[in-house]
Amino acid sequence: MDDKDYDTYAEKYSEKKLFEKIGRFAAKAGKKLVYVVLLLYYTLQKDNVPMKAKAIIIGVLGYFISPIDAIPDITPFIGYTDDFGALLVALAVVSVYVDEEVKNKAKSKLESWFGPISESDIEEINAKL
């Protein structure tokens, strides 16, 4: 995604829409994708994150929220692959701002939705940070 794409999808972002989307599709999207979304969400909440990084996060979360993207989310099995790829790229860009507090908040929220989460469920994502 380039800057124009981020601007387009940023218009689709709101905290309410994000949590509605997760609530509807968490089980289908899977723990890893939801964990990445939560890492980005909690990073966005931090005061020390520069506006450029926040703009990237808002753009990619807007892309995740939008049902109209490269591969429609209703497509069985592969509907979230484009979302996951875009989310991982954004996470890599802002990873310097992802600290233990962000990881703990994301894991805690993930457990509230999915039940107990083992480290093996999220270690692949954490290894990329």
Environment class of residue 117 by beta-carbon count within 10 Å: exposed (0-12), middle (13-18) or buried (19+)? middle
Residue 117 has phi, psi (to 5 degrees) of: -115, 125
- Where does the pLDDT of residue 4 fall: very low under 50, low under 70, confident under 90, or very high at 90 and above? low
The per-residue pLDDT for 109 is 94
pLDDT one-digit tens code per residue, 43-68: 999 999 999 999 999 999 998 888 66
Please give the Cα distance from 125 to 111 (Å, whole number): 16
Give me the percent of the chain exceeding a pLDDT of 90.
49
Here the tokens at position 126 are 């954490």
- 46 is in which domain, residue-wise? 3-127
Average pLDDT over residues 116-128: 90
Please give the Cα distance from 20 to 7 (Å, whole number): 21
Number of domains forming the structure of the chain: 1
Helices (H), the chain: 3-10, 15-29, 31-44, 51-65, 81-94, 100-114, 119-127
In Å, the largest CA–CA distance within the chain is: 39
